[in-house]
Structure 1
Amino acid sequence: MSGPVVVFGSLNVDSTSYVEAFPAPGETILAHGFQVALGGKGSNQAVAAHVAGAEVELVARIGDDASGEFALATLERFGLPTGAVGRVADAPTGVAQITVADSGENTVIVTGGSNLALTPDVVDAERSRIAAAGLVLTQGELLVDTIERIAEVTAELGVRFVLNLAPPAPVAAAALVACDPLVLNEHEARAVGIGTDAAAGTSLDEWRELAASAAGTVARSIVVTLGAAGAVAADAEGSWTAPAPRVTAVDTTGAGDGFTGTLAAFLAEGRPLAEAVRIAVAAGALAVQARGTVDSYAPREAVLRAAAELAA
């Protein structure tokens, strides 16, 4: 497979407060830390794929505001091209309001803003970019019509389509079946009918069997991320587990995006699904050990070294 990873993605600026524990309804608490950083699942995954060694092109929309300038400067700091990041005059840059507890868990509220301007018409205008891609990646934060149009155009052009359906969105079955893979966490898997009766604590092997039962029907291939346990994957060739190493989580924000971006990067360079998932699990485990989103993503060499240690 040749060509860049083309990401049609949400781009936000994250405002993160660090607290001892989440407030109860109606309670006011004091934070012991605060950070403003680039966010949005699209830009997070684009940075993760780039850090993992892929050539990446990000198609996104920002507002004509200070947050948009901040986002562009951050992308340029990472060395990502910004030619396909367009400005929207009458909408603010997307924002995510995040709270991270000392346990490492987080809550996130996203306001779409200029991301809502990433319409099916934009997909059609980027048809030549899609045709030259090695892989196209998008997420559930975009408009459903846009996701479905990406699925249609990639199918027409014979380009691999990866969808991280996060958050869950009512995407048509015809679009989901084109995904190779469809990347989900437990909650998102249940939303599309995979593991609806799976109890909390269901093992990796049991989730592997559930993914295998959905591969070829719900989507061409399936990846389910299972937090600290690791991930499972299935396609027409078989099904696999990828256990995660035991680490101390500092901040889980953006770790799933680090996993997905890394997965896309290694799939785009021709790695088999099972191998790409194992490498992505290592990337996610490294990401949770540092604060923040894009700045927590480890470089390719560190990720490959951690993946090799897992396989040993």
Structure 2
Amino acid sequence: MYIIFLPAAGIVSTLIPVFAGRPIVGYGWVVFAIAVTGFISFGLWVHHMFTVGIPQLAQAFFSAASMLVAVPTAIQVFVWLATLWLGKPKMKLPMLWIMGFLIIFVCGGLTGVMLALVPFNWQVHDTHFVVAHMHYVLVGGMFFPLIAGLYYWLPLFSGRMPSETLGKWGFWLTFLGFNGTFLIMHWTGLLGMPRRVYSYETGMGWDIFNLLSSMSSFIMSAGIAMVLLDFALHFRFGKPAKHNPWNADTLEWANSMPPSAYNFVSLPKIETRHPLWDNPDLPRTMAEGQHSLAVATHGRREMWAATR
């Protein structure tokens, strides 16, 4: 899970400063936390096997590692929240999915700490509680940031803006349907509902909760279908995007939209992490060839080289 979370963390750390309108708070802490998360994640996978009879020493070690990984993850979450708190967030379409990620992923992290405790893990192993936790972590930690990233970079790729109406309908249906589907599963899991079971006797106390969960899954499916419809219609009916529509800070938005075959006309000297905020005129000067490697006199490709 942590392998797919690390790219998502990069997407979130890229998008939040853009829509908060300020540099990320504690950039070094984010880099440190991502590195530590990747390192610790190699030593906690046995928390999926607490019930197979492994020695108590191994249970204690992997339980501690499973709880310890919450520390670097929490560092990233607090950095993102501090950036939003100190900035002026704009609730554009990509930012909606980032906010959904923050809510769902934090909830999944809290139940992850619960499952890291061996006695509790024994009680809910192979129940709906584990299914709910897994989806909160995977969907919150990967799917929501992925959709946010797609909406964010889509104008750069196509030169057109996504539909705010379809996009918001897609987000809210997905967000509400997801929580209605899997939040209930925490309760059915605590009531003893086993996973991988599609049929059971009535009177177990699970009927109404599973019915609500099933109904919510159709709402979530409608939301995902709305997002896919938005992507499909986007390339033909989307409004033409103005240059750098999100007022982003990174260099890819200095390119034409969609990007030209030759990418940048000239290559500027970049000394900060926010080149377009520091020099808003950079896209024009790059297109006019006012920087390096603007002309290849010998007719062959040129690129930068680095030496130590």
Common fold by TM > 0.5 = no
More helix by share: 2
Normalised by the length of structure 1, the TM-score is 0.28
